[in-house]
Amino acid sequence: MTVHLKKLSVGATSIDSLRGWQQRYMAAGQPILHPTRNRPKRAAELLDGGSIYWIIKGKMQVRQRITDLIEITRADGKPGCGIVLHPELIPVWPRQVRIFQGWRYLEASDTPDDMPVSADGEAPMPADMAAELRELGLL
C-alpha cells in the first residue's frame, strides 16, 4: 500500500521558486534529494509510488515522486537518509495545513487531487485562482 510524506518547503515562496532551486541542483549534476535525520520506517510503502507533498506558504501545493531512499552523511557529519526525488513537480489543489517540524506520513486517502494541466504540461491558471474557483463551485 502506498504512503506519502508531507514536508514544509523552507525558503520557497512559490512552486516556481522551489522549481528554480531544484533546477540549480540538476544543472550542477546533483540529484534532487531531501536530507533527513532518520530513514522512514515505512520505506517500502514510500517506494511503492509515494510522493512528497510540499507545503509552501502554509498550503500543500505541489507533489514530487519519491524514487529512492539512500544513506547519506549530513552536513553535521552524522549519518542520515536522502530522499531522492523525481524532477517533475505536480501541482495539487492547494490545501491549508498546520505547520510542523520535520516530515509526516500522509495516507493516500488524505492527499489532495492533482490539478489539471494543459496540453503543454503547464498548470492552466495560477494555483490560487484555480483553488478559489473550485471553492466557488466553478471548477
Q: What's the domain range around 46?
A: 3-135
Which tens digit of pLDDT belongs to each residue from 87-132? Answer: 999 999 899 998 888 899 999 999 999 988 766 666 566 666 776 7
pTM of this prediction? Answer: 0.84
State mean pLDDT over 3-11: 93
Round to whole Å and give the CA distance between 43 and 53: 16
Round to whole Å and give the CA distance between 33 and 115: 24
Round to whole Å and give the CA distance between 122 and 135: 21
Q: Look-up: residue for cell 504540461?
A: 121
Q: How much is the pLDDT for 122? A: 62
Q: Which residues contact 101 (CB under 8 A, 6 or more apart)?
A: 8
What total of structural domains would you count in the chain?
A: 1
- Indicate whether 139 pLDDT > 70: no
The one-letter code for the residue type at 81 is C
